Structure 1
Amino acid sequence: MQHNNNIKPHHRQLRRRTQSRLPHQPREMVHKTEPEKKRSSTSIPAYINQSLELVVTRLEYRRLLAELELSELKGFVDDKLRYEYDSTAEILYIPPMPSVRHETFSAKVSRETEAQLVKIANGPKNETSEFASKISTGRSGKVYLREFDSDDDDLELIKDWIEREPDEQFQHEGAVYPGVVFEIASSQSRKSLEKVAWDYIQYSNGSIKVVVGFQLGYDKDLTARCCTWGSFSILRQIIPQSNQDVTHSSLSSFAPSEVVELKEPTPDITITYAQLATFLNQAESMQQVKQLENEETGAKKSTRKTRKRKREATPTELPIKRERQFLEQEKRVERMTTRQDRAFRGRK
């Protein structure tokens, strides 16, 4: 029992230090993007580009999850719908559907990070390369934050929890939480990157070491911002478009020291701000290609003429009622075939 008493004050002290170092007004990366062309109000439903916040009690949320387990919508919700829940505020948050620009930018930043991790893993065989080889991406899987101040170590008795779905996360196979998290937002999103970064670091008890936030320019505000939050520090810089300036995360940030304590110095995962600007420009170009007609953008498409017919649904794709009808029809055909076989044998 004495050992546990020594550990708990350290956890609380870590939280206090984390709270005191997080900034209120992070300075911004300056990157001017091209204005997006106005979408037709009739072509895209308004709710697609809007976030949604609902007041949902803990009990209501648990009931909702239980009902979804029995619903035909569960597959759709798990595959297509992103949602987050904060039991401390009893808020269910549904972000806007990610745009092509959002997803393209996220994929490019993620691939660059993965490529550098693979390069380290394939380098000289040592503790560092072994560590890098055990880091994988979790994409936008759920992160359950439950490390709240409590005198009870049983997590099942902790009433408060927060569910987050980051745009990207990198996690060591021996860690409970990802070490590095990426969050991407447009300025029209109501989700505060600072609040989200705070939740990740505070309620993982510092196990999530780095949160990199990208706020993409939108509508009249064309300034793209980038900020990196850490467990004990904040990288606060104005980011000019220069090849020499980089955003970086130390390799040791990808897992807590309780998992593996690497000898310093460790390699950095770095992406230059010029690269980030290129990724964003490419993402915006892809967005325009998707929005405008192929003839106007110069995008290529196949000129082949093919006959098209509807694909017949397989039994696994049929609704329950139609599936019963399908099975009954199969049985009728089977009975008819049996009678015909008997008649044929009778003519011997």
Structure 2
Amino acid sequence: MIRVHDVVVIGGGQAGLATAYHLRRLGLDFVVLDAQPTPGGAWQRAWDSLRAFSPAAYSSLPGWLMPAQVGETYPDASHVVSYLGDYEQRYDLPVIRPVHVEAVHDEGRVLRVESASGTWWARALVSATGTWWRPFLPALAASAEFGGEHLHTVDYRRPSDFAGKRVVVVGGGNSGAQIAADLACEADLTWVTRRPARFLPDDIDGRALFDVATARRRALDEGRTDSGGVASLGDIVAVPPVREARDAGLLKAQPMFGRLTRTGVEWADGTTAEADAIIWCTGFRPALSHLAPLGLRRTRGRIPTAGTQALREPRLHLLGYGDWTGPASATLIGVGRPAREAARAIGELLDLA
């Protein structure tokens, strides 16, 4: 006997849990499939010194404020992992793990969700797999010329691993700045960015960024002029470790180099820097391969959406991949609102079905 759920949520990180909370409140029958063996989503894979951008109370999922971390204004990754695990238990969310979803198929009135662990059927689907599991490396990183170590943001753990080594950090976003700051006192650091590093004002954190992103989305929806959102303010949140390294003169970004050499990097003017390792903090792409059988992807690997709802498959909602699936929806503070809207839309759709 095949059991058909109202909703299957793919991904048990912050976006999946926020959606599950709202689905539970609507009384829908759902299950959350998470590829990770333990709770915590991508936070459990983060480097040791990673901090949330906002104080605990402003880094919370719907329904329950994150408890403050003793001695810390901005909670670290381990604190967030504990909170996410406790959140699952607090609301008795039906998370099944580890389940790596391989493919979703349209079976007419239902969607078939395939994995090596089994098959699930659903009347609606939420994809909340995020981006951490699909790191992006530029073509330059594929060069076989460099004889040292290549790493991506996802591979970095702690500065002691690079003590005394020559390290080039590539990337002018938050990850690049935080990892560069982490290494500044342990390694011989070269920080490289494609454009001059742009730090946000020191009083700006995740609370303000969420408000800015929301205001931009509202303006676009109403046909008003695009304010530029968070990008108009800068690229790097000056969390305390970054601020301290910057103010100490340890974060001085160099322009992007032109090529890799056997022993390091070289700029167009012939200047070189020796390196034992290059850490590519060059971002991520949406982890959406499981949706390939539905044939929904268009430009830049994205699936066109209206809010969180896929335009060509109204039973599918996408959450937590960036502003294109809800303002600040890839953040703890920002995911609650689009999760609520997605759950409500699904509830209305199922009532009509």
Q: Which has the higher contact order (CA 8 A, sep 6+)?
A: 2
Larger Rg: 1
Tell me the TM-score normalized by structure 2: 0.29
Tell me the TM-score normalized by structure 1: 0.29
Higher helix share: 1
